[in-house]
Structure 1
C-alpha cells in the first residue's frame, strides 16, 4: 500500500468509526500531536482513537491527500456533538504525516483552537479560547480521560 492509500484508509476508517483500522495505519512507535491532546506516544495515540470512537456521532470528510515515500498531508473536517457540552462542532483540520515502512510514524493535526473552543464550549470558549489557560485545561482533561480509558 502506498502512503497516500494509508492516509485514505485512515480517514475512511475514521468516518466508519473503525478505530482498530485507524490504529493499524500507525507504527507501534507513533507520535501524535494536536491542540487538544498535546503529544501522545505509541499506544496512547491508538487508544485515543478507540476512546473517541466510543458512542460518537462523528462524520468525517477529507481532501487534498498528498504523499510521497516519506511524508504526506491531508485536510479533513469532523462534524460531531461534543460530549461534554452537547454542542455541535465542525472542526477543520490540517494533518501532516511521516511514514516508515508503509506505516504512519508521526501524525500532527493543526486547527484553530479558538474556533473549536467557541463551538465546543460556548461562551467560555468565546471568551477564553485564545488563552493558554483554556488550552492547558482542555489538554489536562482530555489526557485525564485518556488515562482513565486506558486504565492508568
Structure 2
C-alpha cells in the first residue's frame, strides 16, 4: 500500500489527476480544512479541478508509511493562490485507509490559519483561525467544485 500512496503523490506532483483518482476507491471519503468532507466522484473531481487550475505548482512528499489497512504521508505544496496572486507553502499530514487495494478514506490535516495568512495576507492573519472563516472557505471551495463539475 506504500506504493499506492507514492503513486497518488507522484500523480499530484505531475498534475496527473487521472493517476491520482485511479488510486481512490469508488466510495472514497476525502476530508480537509478547506473543502470539508467530499465523497466519491466529488473527491475525485476536486483533484481534477486542483490539477487543472494549479499555478506555479510544486509538491514534495515524504514519510510514507503503510500496512494493509492504513497509511500516512507528509506532503508540502508550493503554489500561487489564484484569488490573490500570493505565494503559498502548505504543509500537510495525510492519513489513509484502504479497501480492496485502493484508498477508501483520505484525511488531510494542515493549519488553516497559517495557510490563510499566506494566501490572503492580513485578512487571513486576522480571520484565518476562526470558525467563521473555515465555514466561508468551505462554501467557496465547494461552489468552485460545483461549477467545475457542471462544465
SS in 2 for 1:36: coil
CA distance in 1, matches of 2:43, 2:86: 25
SS at structure 2 position matched to 1:143: helix
Residue number in structure 2 paired with 1:104:
103
CA displacement at 1:102 relative to structure 2: 1.0
How much does 1:41 deviate? 0.3
Structure 1 outlier segments of 4+, above 3 Å: none
Which runs of 5 or more residues in structure 1 are unaligned?
A: none
Matches within 5 A, 1:93-132: 93-132=92-131
TM-score, normalisation: structure 1: 0.97
How far apart in 1 are the matches of 2:57 and 2:66?
Answer: 25
The Cα shift of 1:15 comes to 0.4
Q: What do the CA deviations read for 1:30-79 (whole angstroms, capped 9, x no partner)?
A: 00000000000000000000000114132110010000000000000000
Q: Does 1:139 align with 2:127?
A: no
In the alignment, which residue of structure 1 is the partner of 2:20?
22
Residue ranges of structure 2 left out of the alignment (5+ in a row): none
The TM-score with structure 2 as length reference comes to 0.97
| Greater CA drift, 36-45 or 54-63 | 54-63
SS, match of residue 54 in structure 1 = helix
Q: Deviations over 1:7-37 (max 9, x none)?
A: 0000011000000100000000000000000
Output the aligned Cα RMSD. Answer: 0.9
C-alpha distance in structure 2 between counterparts of 1:55 and 1:121, whole Å: 18
CA deviations on 1:70-95 (whole Å, 9 max, x unpaired) are 00000000000011111100000000
